[in-house]
Amino acid sequence: MKITSTLEWSLLAAATIFNGILAGGSLIKSVVELPARRTIGLPAMAAYHRAADLRTGFWIYPALGLGAPALTIALGIAFVVDQGAPMAAASFGYLAAALSLAHVFATTRAAPNLLKLRSGIPEEAVLAGVYRAFTRWQTVRAILQIAAFVAVVLALASLAPLAQ
């Protein structure tokens, strides 16, 4: 079994870091932030999302949400090109790339819901639909992001004996 290239190690390290940050943030949003809407109410939650997600988050989330999949897909491609890559690492890399593609799709379904808040806070009945749709796709997205992170960690762990 050959030792993985410096490019593959670099992509794997970067993908692990970016996916870890992304998965952690997504978990916080799904488990901590979104359930708070039941306590503080939809208008307050919308005000929070306008102040946070549609300001600073408007730049941070796309950087992470596109950066992590780009690195992960590049890793999968690097493993395809390098036919001698260890099978376990390559398999986890391919899985992570597929999960990342699925997460990008889920984001195309989730994000437009919160982007509706850019022009203002609509009436509560409209907000209920916005948050229902966002929460559904955010849950899917969080699961995919966490799974992609686990897959890159497993790819990294499968290479640990080669690094010695």
| Band (2; pLDDT cuts 50, 70, 90) | low
- Per-domain residue ranges for the chain? 6-163
pLDDT at 83: 82
Give the tens place of pLDDT for each residue, 18-60.
999 999 999 999 999 999 999 999 999 999 999 999 999 999 9
3-state SS, the chain, equals CCCCCHHHHHHHHHHHHHHHHHHHHHHHHHHHHHHHHHHHCHHHHHHHHHHCCCCCHHHHHHHHHHHHHHHHHHHHHHHHHCCCCCHHHHHHHHHHHHHHHHHHHHHHHHHHHHHHHHHCCCCHHHHHHHHHHHHHHHHHHHHHHHHHHHHHHHHHHHHHHHHC
pLDDT at 91: 96
Flag whether the pTM goes above 0.85: yes
pLDDT at 117: 96
